Structure 1
Amino acid sequence: MARTKEFDPDAALQAALELFWRRGYEATSMADLVEHLGIGRASIYATFGNKHELYLKALDRYAEVRNPPLLDELSQPGSALPAVRTVLRRFAAESASEHQRLNGCFITNTAAELAPHDSAAAHRVEVNWEHLETLLHSALVRARAQGELPPGRDPQALARMLLVLMQGLRIVGKASTDPARVRDATEQALTLLD
């Protein structure tokens, strides 16, 4: 007869996500996970697989939580350009906040730490970036159709530029103690939407 799990797998996955997000993949050992999750190594392996599989599941969870609000925000009916501006300014504010400065963005952290040599992590990063770029592109196409964006502006190129800016904000925000750096860069980039 199979034993009943004595822990909540969703809570354990969330705890793993928070630990990986704060410390990174390489700096997090299985012993750290056992201690932080409060469950045995065998239970971690049986439920999530090895450390790498657990990391990828945590990364998937992060995307599942972060992406729907962006979709809602950028696809609201009505004027599209204010939503794009709001999202960019929120990214800048989050990037300069103490919490984000210490943790950064889990996707961006993964891009820097694992993507160059881990194809599974790189794939997840790329999927997330494609999703964000598509959301931005769709909002900018709507903005152009509504007359908010000058006709000569290329929504695809602007979406890509904004994606790169947003990822850069996360990196600079994590390393810099000067919030004006990310705020000024964001406001300068937003002038390209005028």
Structure 2
Amino acid sequence: MARNVEFNEDLAIQKAMEVFWKKGYSGTSMRDLTDAMQINSSSLYNTIGDKHQLFVKCIRNYVEGRIEDAKANADRTKSPLKAIVNFINDAANTILYSNNSCLAIKTTFELAATDADIQAILKQDNDFTYEFLLRLIKGAVEANEIDSKTDPETVTDYIINAFTGWHESYILHQDPIRIKKMAKYLIEQISK
């Protein structure tokens, strides 16, 4: 009689996500995943599916976590400008102090152009970030924390695109001072 394999799927997905984060989708083997998840390949296929299905679950989990964190962090402050500043500083700190930087940006450059499932999840993340920041910027304009002549849509696009550039800069130069200066400059430009 075959033994039922029992494991914590959420924990297994977290472990798999860490492998994908470090090695990328293409650089990760099934062996890497099963070793990290501490299961055999048949258990993986029977419970989660193949490598791609696992990756989709990992990316979805990552994006949902980011969305929850952003909402929770913004809810802790009454000032829309302060929430924006915190969001920018959190992005800079992720680049500088997390072991793997941003999984969404890494995955965008590796797979989003060729994988419709991944592109849809990352677009959802980007759309959330855009609407989230746009709401905060409009709120900051209404609260007279940001100049009333500010175009909220342009500022939102500017912030989001700055993060991608910071990731590239840090990968190439490993210069934390440069990232901190760019974050400070961005905050100063918004706060004028």
Query: What is the TM-score with the length of structure 2 in the denominator?
Result: 0.92
**Alignment partner for residue 158 of structure 2, among 161, 178, 181?**
161
The aligned counterpart of 2:91 is 91
Q: How far has the Cα of 1:173 moved from its partner?
A: 2.5
Runs of 5+ in structure 2 lacking a partner?
Answer: none
Q: State whether structure 2 residue 90 is matched by structure 1 residue 117.
A: no
Q: RMSD of the TM alignment (CA)? A: 1.7
1:130 to 127, 131, 137: 127
SS at match of 1:104: coil
3-state DSSP of counterpart to 1:78: coil
Shift, 1:30, TM fit: 0.7
TM-score, L = length of structure 1: 0.91
Select the structure with the greater relative contact order (CA < 8 A; seq sep ≥ 6): 1
Identity value in percent: 27
Please list every run of 5 or more consecutive structure 1 residues that lacks an aligned counterpart in the other structure: none
Which 4+ runs in 1 deviate beyond 6 A?
none
> Once structures 1 and 2 are overlaid, which stretch shifts more, 181-190 or 133-142?
181-190
TM-fit CA distance, 1:78:
2.2
The one-letter amino acid of 2:43's match is S
Matched residues, number:
191
CA distance in 2, matches of 1:164, 1:28: 28
Note if contact 1:79-1:143 (Cα within 8 Å) is conserved in structure 2.
yes
Aligned counterparts, 1:19-30, within 5 A: 19-30=19-30
State the Cα distance separating 1:21 from its structure 2 match. 0.8
SS of aligned partner of 1:114? helix
Residues 58-108 of structure 1: CA distance to partner in whole angstroms, max 9, x if unpaired? 0011112221121122345621101111211221122122x34xx121101
Distance 1:130 1:61 in 2: 16
Residue identity in the other structure for 1:17: M
Counterpart residue number, 1:190: 187
Q: What residue number does 2:173 align with?
A: 176
Question: Secondary structure at the residue paired with 1:25?
Answer: helix
